[in-house]
């Protein structure tokens, strides 16, 4: 995302004095991610190569007799397969 914002979590939790601890950091992180931002991050984590950031190329092969779909995701840039899994049609 391009619209990253820097948040000083000491302003978010003014009651906390002194050094920051992990629980304060986690609270701040949870508070600053909206549902839409979370959804966008989840979609990105399944469709973007985590090595180079390019879009993954998906291949689906459906067997309509067993009702199963084989899914494969490849990064054409890195020439690696990142996902290989089967789903059952519902």
Q: Which residues bind Zn ion (CB under 5 A)?
A: 49, 51-52, 75, 77-78
Shortest distance in whole angstroms from residue 86 CB to Zn ion: 23
**What residues have CB less than 8 Å from 74, skipping those under 6 apart?**
56, 57, 59, 80, 81, 82
> Is the Cβ of residue 9 or residue 80 nearer to Zn ion in the bound state?
80
> Is the Cβ of residue 29 or residue 76 nearer to Zn ion in the bound state?
76
Shortest distance in whole angstroms from residue 67 CB to Zn ion: 32
> Is the Cβ of residue 27 or residue 77 nearer to Zn ion in the bound state?
77
């Amino acid at each position: 995302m391009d619209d990253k914002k820097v948040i000083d979590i000491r302003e978010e939790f003014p009651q906390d004095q002194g050094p920051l601890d992990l629980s304060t950091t986690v609270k701040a992180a949870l508070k600053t991610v909206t549902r839409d931002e979370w959804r966008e991050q989840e979609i990105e984590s399944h469709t973007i190569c985590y090595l180079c950031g390019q879009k993954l190329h998906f291949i689906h092969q459906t067997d309509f007799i067993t009702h199963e779909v084989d899914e494969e995701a490849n990064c054409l840039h890195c020439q690696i397969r990142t996902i290989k899994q089967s789903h059952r049609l519902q």
